[in-house]
């Protein structure tokens, strides 16, 4: 966990890990649940696996990379 890269190709896209999986970096999107903003993974695989944590790392989740974002 000593090496990470900054996300410099798309500063608007948040990236991060979900739950205990610190290897898969998903795109993160903000959703409102109970009127409070929460970060969740953009792909179905990354959801419901725990709390999303934002990182300054490059997205490496294939499912997330396949999702076009603005
Ligand atoms: Zn993902």
Q: Find residue 39's DSSP bridge partners.
A: 30
Query: Would you state the structure tokens that stand for residue 38, as one six-digit string?
Result: 């929460």
pTM listed for this prediction: 0.76
The closest alpha carbon to 45, from 17, 7, 11, 6, belongs to 17
Q: Once rounded to an integer, what is the mean pLDDT over residues 16-40? A: 93
Distance of CA 68 from the midpoint of ligand 1 (Å)? 12
Q: How far apart are CA 22 and CA 42, in angstroms?
A: 16
- For residue 27, the CA-to-ligand 1 centroid distance in Å is 6
Residue (of 56, 68, 66) closest to 15 by Cα position: 56
Q: Which residue has the higher pLDDT, 1 or 48?
A: 48
pLDDT of 16 above 90: yes
Higher pLDDT, 6 or 46: 46
């Amino acid at each position: 966990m000593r090496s990470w890269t900054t996300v410099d190709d798309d500063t608007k896209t948040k990236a991060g890990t979900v739950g205990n999986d610190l290897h898969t970096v998903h795109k993160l999107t903000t959703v409102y649940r109970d009127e409070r903003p929460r970060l969740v993974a953009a792909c179905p695989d990354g959801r419901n696996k725990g709390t999303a944590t934002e990182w300054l790392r490059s997205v490496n989740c294939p499912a997330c990379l396949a999702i076009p974002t603005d």
